Amino acid sequence: MKTIYLDNAATSFPKPEAMLAAMTAYQQAIGANPGRSGHGLSIDAGRIVYETRETLARLFNSEDPLRIVLTKNSTEALNIVLKGALKPDDHVITSSMEHNSVMRPLRFLESQGVRVSVIPCSPRGELDPEDIKKAIRPATKMVVMTHASNVTGTILPVEAVGAIIREKGDILFCVDAAQTAGALPMDVQKLKIDLLAFTGHKSLYGPQGTGGLYIRKGLEKGIAPLMMGGTGSRSEFEAQPDFMPDKYESGTPNTIGFAGLGAGATYLAGQTMERIRAKEEQLTRRFLERLEAFKDQVTVYGLIDAARQTAVISFNVKNISPSDAAMFFEEKFGILCRPGLHCAPAAHRTIGTFPQGTVRFSFGFFNTSRDVDRAAKAVMALIDR
């Protein structure tokens, strides 16, 4: 039975061939530690990592490739921002659709004296930018929000919120782009984003173990690094460098991973985001239309509008637990998906599916219409059982 991978929101699979080719090429021909030694292979390794920064900077319209910190995942990027910038008595605003990579650090910081306001979203996952505006107070240091929910796919109004915050002047705007970097246009200048946390191994088609953080020029002064150590720069000093990106990149990097990430991002740029988005939107629309026929037996969450969500669909089949449904889909149809709370209990509380969770299908660029039809058939088969 052919496997149908519908868990792209967790990690994209398969990857473009160029990704693994770049990783193998690096390991076989170069293999050195970038930025540490002065020899040719070390410089070649450094060049690969630098070019990955450049490719990403182009995708996000960053003013400078060195504004891109490369991390092991989006969670690390978010931790750098939240733990590095927020102090006791600072006020931070977030939405009620956030992933635990935002909520867990925030709840911890709250126990240390940071004030946290969670702005309620609608049961479909929608955020009203005016609610963010109303929550702003003199002590507000930052607004952190997801660009799109990993549970419902709902795209949140980042542009509107960015405009509100930029007008206020001295508040940081951090966006969790784990679900959207590479999938939706991400112009940090246009969207007025100060800090962008992104995943390398989802819509950027890099391997796991990669991610990053864009930091607007000057803001690194107010954000402490998570880790300190050797950076290959200012080696005669025992103080951590204060410039980008070295400040946040201590120790040997995941060079092979970043070689892969660079190739993945280059593949994406070649296909164009528009083309990828169009296909994912079409697959989402097709599946949502198929689900329409099962309206009485299947609850679909979110906006149920392919144009206003990522290729993520959460649903529940009447009287069947999400994990039972997922097991059925895999055993009978070879469909791989994710049931449960998706590391986002806040989102499930918001849409009313806590604590049982939902079944989540997430389509990707390498899925086909046939995959969608088979997925719909699987749902029908589960209902009929």
Partner 1 sequence: MTDPLTHAVVLFESVGHALRAEKIVKTQNISCKLIPVPRHLSSDCGVCLRIPLCAKDEVKNILQGSLDFFEIISL
Contacts with partner 1, residue ranges (CB under 8 A): 34-39, 43, 46-47, 50, 53-54, 65-66, 231-236, 241, 243-246
| Separation CA 375–CA 334 (nearest Å) | 10
* Residue 308: DSSP 8-state: G
* Nearest residue (CB) to partner 1, 43 versus 380: 43
Rounded to 5°, the CA angle 116-118-121 comes to 170
- Residue 53 or 192: the one with the smaller Cβ distance to partner 1 is 53
Phi/psi at 15 (nearest 5 deg)? -105, 160
Distance CA 215, CA 384 (A): 51
Give min distance, CB of 273 to partner 1, in A: 24
The smaller minimum CB distance to partner 1, of residues 50 and 205, is found at: 50
Report the alpha-carbon distance of residue 46 to residue 355 in Å, rounded: 46
Inter-residue contact 157 to 129 (CB < 8 Å): yes
C-beta of 68: minimal distance to partner 1 in Å?
10
Cβ atoms of residues 154 and 97 within 8 Å: yes
Annotated catalytic residues are: 343
Residues sharing a CB contact under 8 Å with residue 358, sequence separation 6 or more, in sequence order:
151, 301, 314, 315, 316, 322, 339, 340, 342, 348, 351
**Least distance CB 54 / partner 1 (angstroms):** 8
Nearer Cβ to partner 1, position 156 or 223? 223
CA–CA dist 221, 97 (Å, integer): 29
Q: Which is nearer to partner 1, 16 or 257 (CB)?
A: 257
Nearer to partner 1, 247 or 279 (CB): 247
Are 25 and 259 spatial neighbours (Cβ–Cβ below 8 Å)?
A: yes
The least distance separating partner 1 from the CB of residue 196, rounded to whole angstroms, comes to: 18
CA distance 93 to 102: 11
> With the C-alpha atoms ordered 281, 152, 10, 73, is the resulting torsion angle positive or negative?
positive
Radius of gyration of the chain (CA): 21
- As measured in angstroms, the least distance from the Cβ of 293 to partner 1 is 54
Beta-carbon contacts of residue 138 (< 8 Å; ≥ 6 apart): none
Q: Is residue 213 within 8 Å of residue 71, measured between CB atoms?
A: yes
Task: Please give the DSSP secondary-structure letter assigned to residue 322.
Answer: H
Q: Give the shortest CB-242-to-partner 1 separation in angstroms.
A: 10
Report DSSP state, residue 312: E
Smallest separation (angstroms) from partner 1 to the CB of 39 = 7
Task: Please identify, using beta-carbon distances, which residue of 190 and 234 lies nearer to partner 1.
Answer: 234
DSSP E strand boundaries for 56-114? 68-71, 91-95
**What does the alpha-carbon distance between residue 126 and residue 104 come to, in Å, rounded to a whole number?**
22
